Amino acid sequence: MPSLRKVPNSPFWIACFRDQKGKQCNRSTKKRDKKSAMAAALDFERVARGWLAENPTATALYKLAADLSERIGQPMKSVTIREEFKAYLKGLESKSASTRVRYEQIIREFLSSLGNSAEKNLAALSSGEVLAFRDARLKAGISPTSSDFELKLIRSVLKKALVAGRIPSNPAAAVDSLNEKGAVRGVFEPEQVRALLMACEGFKKKGRDCGNDWRGACLLAFYTGARLSDVANMKWRNVDLQNRLLFYSEKKKRFQSEIRVPLHEELESHLLSLNAPDDPEAVLFPGLAGRETGGANGLSREFVALMDAAGIERRQIREGSGVGRNIYDLGEHSFRHSFNTHLMRAGVPEDLRQRLCGHESKEVSRRYTHKEVEDLRASVAKLPSVSAFPAKRLPARKAKGAK
pLDDT, tens digit, 9 for 90 and up, residues 345-378 = 888 887 788 888 875 543 333 445 556 678 888 9
Task: Identify the pLDDT of residue 325.
Answer: 60
Are 252 and 319 within one domain? yes
Share of the chain above pLDDT 90, in %: 28
* Rounded Cα–Cα distance for residues 349 and 352 (Å): 6
Q: Same domain for 159 and 46?
A: no
Is 26 among the domain residues?
yes
29 and 85 belong to one structural domain: no
The answer on 245 and 99 residing in a single domain is no
The pLDDT value given to residue 57: 47
- Domain span holding position 28: 3-54
Tell whether 249 and 297 lie within a shared domain: yes
List helix spans (H) across 180-286.
Answer: 190-199, 211-224, 228-232, 265-273
User: Mean pLDDT lowest for which of 159-173, 289-303, 322-336?
Assistant: 322-336
Q: Per the domain annotation, does 392 fall within a domain?
A: no
pTM: 0.57
Q: For the segment 226-253, what is each residue's pLDDT rounded down to a tens digit?
A: 989 899 999 999 999 999 999 888 776 5
Claim to verify: residue 198 and residue 162 sit in the same structural domain: no
Same structural domain, 333 and 239: yes
Please check whether residue 377 lies inside any domain of the structure: yes
326 and 231 within one domain: yes
Of residues 160 and 205, the one with the higher pLDDT is 160
> CA–CA separation, 20 vs 258, rounded Å?
27
- Same domain, residue pair 213 and 352: yes
The 3-state DSSP class for residue 246 equals strand
Q: What is the CATH number of the domain that holds 343?
A: 1.10.443.10
In a domain, 60, yes or no: no
- pLDDT tens track for 33-85: 888 888 778 777 776 765 433 444 444 555 555 555 555 555 556 789 999 99
User: According to the model, what pLDDT value does residue 52 have?
Assistant: 38
Q: What is d(CA 172, CA 167) in angstroms, rounded to the nearest whole number?
A: 12
Q: What is the pLDDT of residues 256-265, one digit of tens each?
A: 567 889 999 9
Same domain, 142 and 197: no
Residue 74: inside a domain: no
Please give the tally of structural domains in the chain: 3
Residues 316, 237 share a domain: yes
- Co-location of 240 and 202 in the same domain: yes
Q: How confident is the model at residue 213 (pLDDT cuts 50, 70, 90)?
A: very high
Q: Which of 145, 203, 151 is nearest to 172 (CA)?
A: 151
- Widest pairwise Cα distance in the chain: 89
Residue 184 lies in a domain: no
Q: Is 294 helix (H, G, I), strand (E, B) or coil?
A: coil
Instruction: Report yes or no on 154 lying in a domain.
Output: yes
* Other Cβ atoms closer than 10 A to 263: 23
Read off the pLDDT of residues 145-197 as tens digits, 9 standing for 90 and up: 788 889 999 999 999 988 887 887 888 887 877 764 445 567 898 999 999 99
Residue 401, domain member (yes or no): no
